[in-house]
Structure 1
Amino acid sequence: MDIYIFLFYLSITLLAGFVFGKLAELARVPEITGYIIAGVFLGPSIFNVLSFEALGSFDIITNFVLGIIAYQIGTELWMPKVRKSGKSIVTITSVQAIATALIVFGVIYLIDGRLWLALTLSAIATATAPAPIMVIVKKLRAKGPVTNTVIPVVGIDDMFGVIIFGLFTAIAVATIGNEALSIHNAVIEPVIEVLLSVGVGSAFGLLLGFVSRFFIHRLPKTEKYIAYLVFSLSSVLLAVFIAHTYHLSMILTPMMIGMVFTNFIKKEPFEIQGAALSNFSGPLIIIFFTLAGAQLSLSVLKSAGFIAVLYIVFRTIGKIGGAYLGAVMAKSPKVVRNATGFCLLPQGGVEIGMLVAVSSIFPSGEAIFIKTIVLAGILFFEIVGPIIFKFTLEKVGESRLTEHHQEAVITDVKQLQEA
């Protein structure tokens, strides 16, 4: 695509997403939902302003923004805070992932009877999209036991998702072609992917920490903001490049950079780099979710059929019930037991990556059928998931975006304008 046409599409995407986001906010639903709906209107399903061919040109931007979001998840995993509830987080994550996989597998295999389909859908059902969760947490300035549980659970959940997906799809492919099951493909490859992603991300995080401690720390305060922004973005760009080139996790690699880095620095530089990245990423977040909406096809709903309904209903039951059971086993507070599962419904980022893998490892007929069902699920969970998540945080009283905060923000803006 010509670069200037690309810039035209980019401007339309940004403006449409912003306008629909504000309309969504007026309707008291998350801005993310507005971005996604704007994308649906721009995409092939309705006006076809962004064709499937045009959308392919945006891959580098979507991967970059996904890297930034994963990095921000990592920066929230401050070990003294995580350590207090580390055991409960691992318990909740593992139980909800296993419960979701088993419930979706059992229902679809019992009703449909195709082992390969039940295995693949149950593996994809375990993953949770981190992007809408982080954006809504930042938007609401959410704090509290549910927020402190959900953020690390989402990060660790993707590790479980990658491993379960590798294991289940290897078995599924073997059942289709009557091939011998390869332990290397089923277990070793996904484990190596996770370990390398963690290792590479940790190395970059250490490097960024050393740069902060021995270089940026010495700069004048006025120069630290841009320095942290430059080094953070450079680290994310390198992580995305390495993850893409060497087939590592596009989420785990930058997430580990953020986690290691945030545990290497003091509170002041942490707050500076967090503010710098949040201010920079605002327009990119709008583009990311508007493009995600444009990739959704409304026609998928017609062809996905009853299996898609089963996938949506029983993934929801697995996430909510599994998180509740895990929280009970971990002896978590009542509010965490009751609310966490409702916060784990969004899908969209990791799952789309899994569908790319499905296209390459399954015969075309089976791959198309799987993608049709999962895309119907993504369409539902991308729109409904953020609404339920926002409502849950507000219901448990962890949203800090009260009228007082809104007035404070308006006052700050006016003071800046007058300065």
Structure 2
Amino acid sequence: MMLDPFTLSLVAICVLALLGLPIGHAMIASSILYLWMAGLDMGTAAEQILNGLYSGYLLLAVPMFILAAEIMNAGTMTERLLHFCNAVVGRFRGGLAQVNVLQSLIFAGMSGSAIADAAGTGRMMQKLMTKDDKYPASYAAALTAATAVIGPIIPPSIPLVIYALVSDASIGFLFIAGIVPGFLLAVGLMGVVAIDARRKNFPVEEPVPLRKLPGLTFRALPALMLPVVLLVGIRGGVMTPTEAAGVAAGYALLISVVIYRSVTLSQFYSALLNSGRTTASIGMLLAGAMVFNYVVTVENIPNALSAMLTATDLTPTQFLILVNILLLLLGCVLEGTTILLVIVPVLIPTAQALGIDMVHFGVMAVLNIMLGLITPPYGLLLFIMTRIAEVPLRDIVRDVMPFLFVMFGALAIVTFVPDAVLLLPRLLGYQG
């Protein structure tokens, strides 16, 4: 039996991905196959996609946030933040583990990427926690992977930027809406660490004298002010989100070179190269997703799915439960950006038809997808920490489960208590 063009394109994506072709390339190849079999003009399709990109200035925010994170990793900004975190919570039992959580909460406001957090400060925390066998390597790796998930929730957030692109939701209000869920994650993880510290008798670090706290705070203050500058600038109408991303990169460079004097010319060049490589990989994925989304639109999949789900008389709560299950399952096997660019746009029309707020839906979807980074069996962050910590994957999976449990609790609050997400945006004028 002859397969229709759309089904054949789906089969092609799966086959090419299983053969090892990057998912972005697989989507481009399968989309070209669809256009050829359906007899559609490829030139017209390319023209429509490019016309959409000409007004998609929001995409420029992604490489700028990546560059900002690379510059901060190259300098001493992260070390100053770690010293500040250690002065605040390092004095408690299991204090170094608490520092791991707190630094992710603070550094989240700089990078906007879970991968950047794990590869940057996460690598540093892994070395600190396992030095002199203070903590088991698998526990340190599991905690580092879990805390890195906070990064894409607290503003600025690259996944929220991508969601804003596909949903037309306000990126400013999305950023603000991520603050409370990010703190929920941090509080939950700190609670688990506190319990483990008592149960496993984790060490107590030498307390930093309180008289030194003002000095450490002052030295870390320029780095701590970055998220404040971005949020005030965006909500105050001083800058667009894209301009804010450029300001973040410029601010990071200014602080690292002029104030901290910790980035050399060669380090800056390396930061540019690394951010270019990361941006290129994300750009190829974006290109593939946009071409495939054109195919999905031609097939009228979003409207057909919306009509089908609406006909089943699903309540908003039932729909959100189904979406959570779907995204969690997909998050175990697919990269998060792919889900945001291909799957989430298909779900948005149904969410709108059911009266679900787009800012609430976006934060819930991004949190759900980020949890997929540490959910077995695939969990990209788990694999990254396996390489960094040089411990078996099964040991990290065992130690990450308590953290994953409380993070699912935070996801439940975000899903079923929309006011927890929308409280801050409404206080600042959001009408949703």
TM-score by length of 1: 0.31
Higher normalized contact order (CA 8 Å, seq sep 6+, divided by chain length): 1
TM-score by length of 2: 0.30
